[in-house]
Structure 1
Amino acid sequence: MTSVVHSPYTDAQIAAWLRGLLTIAWSDGDFDSHERDLIAAITQDELAPKVSIETFEPIGAQDLAAELGHDHLTAENFVRTAIMVALADGVYTLPEDKLLQDYCTALDVQTLALQSLRSTLYDPSSQAAPRAIAPSISSPKAGVPNPLQPIQEWMDGLEVHDPRVARFLCKMIPPQCPFERDIALFGRKIVHIPPLCKLNPLYEQLVGLRFRALSYLADDCGEDITPYC
């Protein structure tokens, strides 16, 4: 269904925005066949119907900044959605962090909140499993500072104002906490990932954003959201 809601963004801005989110999603190269099909569908439905996933071109930081323009709120909201996409699989990797830093520099988005997220970094070239968030971080005790509170509060400030971005987020963010899984290479288990709701430092923010995107599509755009539920 085509929304009749007026977007504050131009078609060129949204195309660059979605290319940036896909570039983030693609950056660590960790895709199974389901995720690859999902990104192909998002590219064809939301970015450009005639674009093939095989010929999709990632967008560089300077090109992204040129297309998004100079509005600071637009830049901040893009970075927020990019962080959500980076953490949608529950693991924050070095390639995702580097690309996000490049985007932030080009967009002149300086947020100390993003620095706290680096405590969860995972190097995919190592043999170690991704680090689960410590109990003091995921469920802080009374009187104990939560080092991730700045990034959590900053992410909660994201607002959804475009149906294409809303649909993208509804497709990228799982509707429920994925089950734990093992990653195998040549028949041998190399990584065990616990349930993502226990691993992802921004899981509550992801759930909240998905709910806001669904509400925006249903209430403001009048769209049928059953395909996303």
Structure 2
Amino acid sequence: MESIVQSPYTSEQIAAWLRGLLTIAWADGNFDSQEQQSIASITQDQLAPGLNSESLEVIEPAQLATIIGKGTPAAENFLRTAVMVAIADGTYSPSEDQVLHQFCQALEQPDDILKALRQTLETPEQVAIAPTAPKAPAPDTLTPIRNWLDGLDIQDPAVARFLCKMIPSQCPFERDITLFKHKIVHIPPLCKINPLYEQMVGLRFRALSYLADECGEDVSPYI
């Protein structure tokens, strides 16, 4: 998929960027081998067709920092997209937090945002046993991370396409989980589980607008 926009990043940086996002997506173990292969296929065939299959494996923090750079705007923008991927399913797991913390250290970025994130999102275990949506944190607790996420500058078509694929196009419906015809848990809509859902929707819209307006691409496959 070609774009009329020239990316400010090298092909090596984009490959490392996407590998970092895939590392986050797979961190909590919610993707089996078939799902991992499917996401890798989407990344290779639709988002960055120039990459070979080996470049779609997970990446170590030190290698990511060597390629993207330490303490750079690119490093900060990568972390913003990584956080978005981590909370795309409405939960923030300890394994995702561990990987993000390692990325912060390697990229020489402050992890203050992660401390706020730990206080605002539930883990999958907590969501699974909660009969109702978690109580929303105080607005002043959310403001720093909301402002930080809103500062993401989308400058590369491949990254924009990845975000459009990973972030749901609409708030999934609430649902009941049943076992032997008995309801064992009620899952609220994602927009109620995730207090940062508006930031995700805004990012997806900006990614779509970037692809359509700046890159001249057909965004109908993502809608």
TM-score by length of 2: 0.86
1: CA distance between counterparts of 2:143 and 2:69? 29
**Cα distance between partner residues in 2 of 1:130 and 1:108:** 40
What residue is the counterpart of 1:157 in the other structure? Answer: 151
8 A contact 1:127–1:190 mirrored in 2 = no
Aligned partner (choices 180, 192, 198) of residue 198 of structure 1: 192
What corresponds to 2:72 in structure 1? 72
Quick check: 1:221 aligned with 2:222?
no
Structure 1 stretch 56-65 or stretch 97-106: which is displaced more?
A: 56-65
**Change in CA separation of 1:146 and 1:222 when aligned onto 2, cut-off 3 Å:** same
Post-superposition shift, 1:107?
0.3
Deviations, residues 122-155 of structure 1 (Å, cap 9, x unaligned):
16499744984424x3xx6xxxx53111111110
The offset of 1:43, in angstroms, is 2.8
Partner of 2:110: 110
Which of 50, 53, 57 lines up with 1:51 in the alignment? 53
- On the 8 A contact 1:214/1:225 being kept in 2, the answer is yes
CA RMSD across the alignment: 2.9
SS at match of 2:59: coil
Equivalents in 2 of 1:203, 1:107: separation in Å?
26
The C-alpha deviation readout for 1:145-186, integer Å capped at 9, x for no partner, is 531111111100001000000000001011100112355789
Q: Which has the higher helix share?
A: 2
Distance 2:34 2:171 in 1: 16
Q: Which amino acid aligns with 2:206?
A: R
SS at match of 2:2: coil
TM-score of the two chains, using structure 1 as the length reference = 0.84
Evaluate the alpha carbon distance shift between residue 88 and residue 67 of structure 1 in structure 2; reply closer, same or farther with a 3 A threshold: same
Structure 1 partner of 2:83: 83
- 1: CA distance, partners of 2:2 / 2:79: 26
Amino acid at match of 1:171: K
Kept in 1, the 8 Å contact 2:174–2:187? The answer is yes
**Partners of 1:131 and 1:101 in 2: how far apart?**
30
For 1:51, the aligned partner's letter is S
Once structures 1 and 2 are overlaid, which stretch shifts more, 68-77 or 177-186? Answer: 177-186
Length, aligned pairs only: 220
Q: Does 1:24 align with 2:24?
A: yes
1:123-202 to structure 2, matched below 5 A, reads: 124=125, 128-129=129-130, 132-135=133-136, 137=137, 145-182=139-176, 192-202=186-196
